[in-house]
Amino acid sequence: MQIKSIAVLAGYVAVAVAQGQQIAAIGQCSQDCWNVSAVQANCDPNASDDCLCGTFFNLVTQCLATCSPEEALAALSVLDGGCPNE
């Protein structure tokens, strides 16, 4: 049971690191939206799918409207993989 839990945790960490690297490459405005939205959502989008695809998703997409179209599209492409129903 412990090995399975460790494997699952390692998978989540890998996804969070990959997402973090993708966010770092999408521009400052998008990064700012990501960071501010994570605080405003009052939940951890890296630890909770409900947060990522719910409150956080709504906040970050609203904020991205203030960014350049290129930055907004790049950020949304990162979110798209994490929220298949969005």
pTM: 0.63
User: How many structural domains compose the chain?
Assistant: 1
Kindly provide the b/e burial profile for residues 37-64, where b requires at least 16 CB atoms within 10 angstroms of the residue's own CB.
Answer: bbeebeeebbeeeebbbbbbbebbbebb
* pLDDT tens digits in sequence order for the chain, 86 residues long: 445 434 333 333 344 445 556 656 789 999 999 899 999 999 888 888 888 889 999 999 999 999 999 999 988 888 877 776 54
- For residues 62 and 22, give the distance between their C-alpha atoms in angstroms, rounded to a whole number: 19
Full residue range of the structural domain in which residue 47 is found: 2-82
